[in-house]
């Protein structure tokens, strides 16, 4: 089962182009550090500014470099159903374990529209993780709608970024105990698992894969005291990472660790000096920088 710490992988750039060598290095590093799986080309992977060719290339590179060692959940979301189907089919062809499909943003479909959209994605024959993030998409999938979709054999779980921990038991009741519930919120990942979740698709885990994996392992084994201790170590980093767009912070952190450049694509820009200072302090608190 897909579970544990699943970094929402950044896409490294060099001089405006995808840095394939750095991407491969990140995949190997995450595996060595204990990440349970990887999620390339989500929003943290700057999917909005990748070309179709770059998107498909990043997915294929990550899958090839991982070589079956860990699951790869490919970002495949769009607010255009036809485009979503294309992305899911490409992920399936490349050998992805599953696809992460976001609720369509901006055009605000009804619940009936969400059902039709996700069934079209699932009918491609690749397992689908629903990504419910109403704060960005401005549409919220209800637990009842999710339960209806969970009846499809290829709709296997949710990345829940609602921030509402009560959703986890509600979705257990509507979708069943085997439905995979993954947190999309780093700061509440421990509480999410306590309510019945089994993992987190994490931004912080880009920089702290070992700690995030250890925290997830502790919760999955029922060691909430141990998980709380690690969460205390990570909390300043969770908070600092989201002072400005999380992926920008993650790339800054990775640059401090010597793993990739800080480079991002417009309309995103680099961190402010104030955010860098807080990130440096948080990385030190986590024991990642001396």
Active site residues: 131, 159
97: helix, strand or coil: coil
Residue keyed to tokens 């529209």: 113
Kind and range of the H or E run holding 25? helix 20-33
**8-state DSSP, 38:** B
Using CA atoms, how far apart are residues 33 and 16, in angstroms rounded to an integer?
Answer: 28
| Residue with the two structure tokens 């750095």 | 22
CB 5 within 8 A of CB 202: yes
Residue 68: C-alpha distances to residues 27, 95, 206 (Å): 12, 9, 20
DSSP for 151-195, please give it.
TSTTEEEEEE-S--TTHHHHHHHHH-TTSEEEES-GGGHHHHHHT
Helix, strand, coil proportions of the chain in percent (round to 5)?
50, 15, 35
Across-strand partners of 39? 8
């Amino acid at each position: 089962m897909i579970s544990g710490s699943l970094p929402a992988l950044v896409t490294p750039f060099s001089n405006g182009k995808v840095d394939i060598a750095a991407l491969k290095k990140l995949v190997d590093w995450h595996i060595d550090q204990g990440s349970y799986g990887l999620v390339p080309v989500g929003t943290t992977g700057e999917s909005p500014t990748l070309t179709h060719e770059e998107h498909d290339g990043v997915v294929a590179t990550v899958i090839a470099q991982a070589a079956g060692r860990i699951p790869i959940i490919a970002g495949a979301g769009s607010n255009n159903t036809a485009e979503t189907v294309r992305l899911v089919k490409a992920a399936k062809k490349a050998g992805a374990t599953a696809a992460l499909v976001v609720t369509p943003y901006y055009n605000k479909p009804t619940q009936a529209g969400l059902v039709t959209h996700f069934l079209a994605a699932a009918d491609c024959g690749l397992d689908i993780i629903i990504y419910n993030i109403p704060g960005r998409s401005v549409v919220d999938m209800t637990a009842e709608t999710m339960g209806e979709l969970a009846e499809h054999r290829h709709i296997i779980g949710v990345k829940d970024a609602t921030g509402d921990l009560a959703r986890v038991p509600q979705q257990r009741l509507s979708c069943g105990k085997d439905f995979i519930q993954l947190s999309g919120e780093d700061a509440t990942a421990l509480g999410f698992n306590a309510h019945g979740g089994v993992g987190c698709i994490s931004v912080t885990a880009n920089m702290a894969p070992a700690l995030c994996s250890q925290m997830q392992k502790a919760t999955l084994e029922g060691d909430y005291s141990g998980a709380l201790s690690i969460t205390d170590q990570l909390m300043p980093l969770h908070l600092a990472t989201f002072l400005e767009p999380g992926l920008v912070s993650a790339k800054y952190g990775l640059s401090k660790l010597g793993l990739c450049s800080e480079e991002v694509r417009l309309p995103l820009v680099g961190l402010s000096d104030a955010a860098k200072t807080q990130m440096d302090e948080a990385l030190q608190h986590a024991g990642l920088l001396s």
